[in-house]
Amino acid sequence: MKTDISKFDGMLDTIATHLAKQRGRAVNDSEGCMYRAPGGLMCAFGCLIPNSEITDHFMNLYNSSSASGLPAELLEKLHNMHAPETDFNDFLRVAGYAQCYHDRSHPCGGTTTYMQRLERSKDADFINMKEMIFRDLRAFCF
């Protein structure tokens, strides 16, 4: 059965709006992705995490490129907040796919990601980003 990716519309709106407004990546000194970085920067998945979940404990355990993953309870909470009508594994797949746009790794094997163009251009906006993510999801994931 095909997944109805329109059920991820709200989640992708949140991510695309965030990345388009931020126009940069949340990384550490080694260019490793961080859920939350100095200056209020957040990665694509990090912008889905409520501020109430970001504690010193969270930052010490999970906010580095060496983190093995978020706790299952938090992932389930995020799934219920952002895409409750979807399969949990599809939620993780779509979130991971959207994360590629933050990380500058094109999920479809291309060399220039939307985030790279966004960092260089004042013309790009979240509507184009959302359309690109949806197009790629349809073509390569679902």
Average pLDDT taken over every residue of the chain: 75
Contact indicator for 54, 36 with CB cutoff of 8 Å: yes
DSSP at 30 = T
Overall average pLDDT of the 3-14 stretch: 82
Overall average pLDDT of the 26-51 stretch: 84
- Model confidence at 141, pLDDT cuts 50, 70, 90, reads low
Contact indicator for 107, 95 with CB cutoff of 8 Å: no
Q: Please count the other Cβ atoms lying within 10 Å of the Cβ belonging to residue 126.
A: 18
Kindly give the pairing relationship between strand 41-42 and strand 36-37: antiparallel
Contact indicator for 92, 78 with CB cutoff of 8 Å: no
Confidence (pTM): 0.76
Show me where the domains of the chain are located. Answer: 5-140
What phi and psi values does residue 110 have, to the nearest 5 degrees?
-75, 175
Write down the pLDDT at residue 111.
46
- Model confidence at 66, pLDDT cuts 50, 70, 90, reads very low
Q: What is the pLDDT of residues 79-137, one digit of tens each?
A: 999 999 999 988 888 888 777 777 665 554 554 555 555 555 555 555 566 677 667 66
Top pLDDT among 104 and 36 is at 36
